[in-house]
Amino acid sequence: MATAAARKIAARDVAPTTRQGGEIRVLLSPRTVDATDGFGGTLTLAPGEYVAEQYHPYSDKFLYLVRGVLELTVDGEKIRLAADEALMVRRGQRHRFVNPGGDEALAVFHVSPLAPRPDLGHVDTEPVPNPAGELPRVGGPR
C-alpha cells in the first residue's frame, strides 16, 4: 500500500489572510498537503484586534493558545483563554475572538471534519474587519 510522503509547511511561507480579522495562516489543508479530513494553522491577533463572529455548519474548531490572552464569545458566553489553554467550539456554535491584552496573541487551530465544499465551511454573522480581503484558502489547487 503506497503512502503519501510527509509534507512540511513553514508559517513564513504562507501569506496571511486578514479578512476576518488578525492574521490567519492555513498551513495544513487539502490545498497544501492533500489533507482529507480537516485543516489547521495559526491565528495571530495584535492587542485590540478581533476575529469577526462566525460559525462552521459542518466542522468543530479546536484552538490552543500558545501565547497571550484571548477573550472568546461562544454562543453568547464569554470565555477567557490564557497561554497553554485550549478550547473546542462545536459545529454550529457562533464564536468571536478578541485580544484584550497588551501583547500579541498566537493560537494554533484545527477545523474538522471538512465541509462538503470549501464555500460551505464558514458563515460570517457580523461584518468582517477587512471585507475586501480573501477568505483563507483551504481547498482547490495549490
pLDDT at 1 over 90: no
Across the range 94-100, mean pLDDT stands at: 98
In this structure, what C-alpha cell is assigned to residue 61?
Answer: 474548531
**HSE-up (13 A, CA, CB side) for residue 102:** 0
Q: Is the pLDDT of residue 115 over 90?
A: yes
pLDDT in tens, 7-53: 899 999 999 999 999 999 999 999 999 999 999 999 999 999 999 99
Inter-residue contact 7 to 33 (CB < 8 Å):
yes
One DSSP character per residue, 59-80 reads -EEEEEEEESEEEEEETTEEEE
Encode pLDDT of 43-93 as tens digits. Answer: 999 999 999 999 999 999 999 999 999 999 999 999 999 999 999 999 999
Alpha helices in 27-141 (DSSP H): 30-33
How many other CB atoms are there within 10 angstroms of residue 141's CB atom?
5
Q: How far is CA 53 from the centre of its chain?
A: 12
